[in-house]
Structure 1
Amino acid sequence: MRLWVPHEKRRPQPEPLRTNDVLAFQVGLGLWLAALIIVLGMLATPIAFDPVQTLATIALGLVLGLAGLLVSRRARP
């Protein structure tokens, strides 16, 4: 393995792949909403867990997902 390759022997940079970021954020938000429904259903059962921390994590995931969705829609050409 060589650590340094001369410029004339280097391969050209590949073109970046086009991705659908909006779809990825929508799927992520759907999963966070499913987690919210599951946790709200678990509140009625006698299972021992910390609902405040769990709901805070889900809320943060939803907020960051919405922010990412807005940014990715704005940055779309």
Structure 2
Amino acid sequence: MNDEQPGAPDEPHAPRTAAAPPGTGGAPEGPTLPAAVLDPRPVVAAGFGAWIIATVLILVTQGTSASALPVCYAGLVIGALGTAVFLVQRRGARSGRKGAQQGLA
């Protein structure tokens, strides 16, 4: 007697995967992006610089009693932490550490 459920196929189906283009022998790859687009340094510098400018503008226009000042301070702290993490990851990628992110060198 067959222990399988009625209507079940006799053989399990293999999982479906995306087919690679013929002749490539591997997974399809997208177009390569220019190096200027892949470089995270301008974005990190612009974000941190924007918080510096916002903090200075708030201090100049509204003084130290401005309600937006704590938000600017938080942005500066988070920007500094993010920049530090980026620099540590970049140093690890350049030295060839196993756990470092790829593509930061």
Structure 1 length-normalised TM: 0.65
Matched residues, number: 67
2:44 and 2:62 map into 1 onto residues whose CA distance is: 27
Distance across 1 between alignment mates of 2:28 and 2:70: 42
Shift of 1:68: 0.5
Unmatched 5+ stretches in structure 2:
1-14, 22-26, 94-105
Give, in angstroms, the shift of residue 21 of structure 1.
2.9
Q: Give the corresponding residue for 2:80.
A: 66
Contact 1:32 1:58 in 2 (8 A): yes
- Map of 2:43 onto structure 1: 24
Give the alignment's Cα RMSD to 1 decimal.
3.0
Aligned mates of 1:6, 1:73 — CA distance in 2: 40
The structure showing larger relative contact order (alpha-carbon pairs under 8 Å, at least 6 residues apart) is: 1
Could you list the runs of 4 or more consecutive aligned residues of structure 1 that deviate by over 3 angstroms after TM superposition?
none
Corresponding residue for 2:52?
Answer: 33
Structure number, greater radius of gyration: 2
Task: Write the distance in 2 (CA, Å) between the matches of 1:20 and 1:64.
Answer: 20
Structure 1 residue runs of 5 or longer lacking an equivalent are 45-49
Per-residue Cα deviation, 1:52-71 (whole angstroms, up to 9, x for no partner): x3010000000000000000
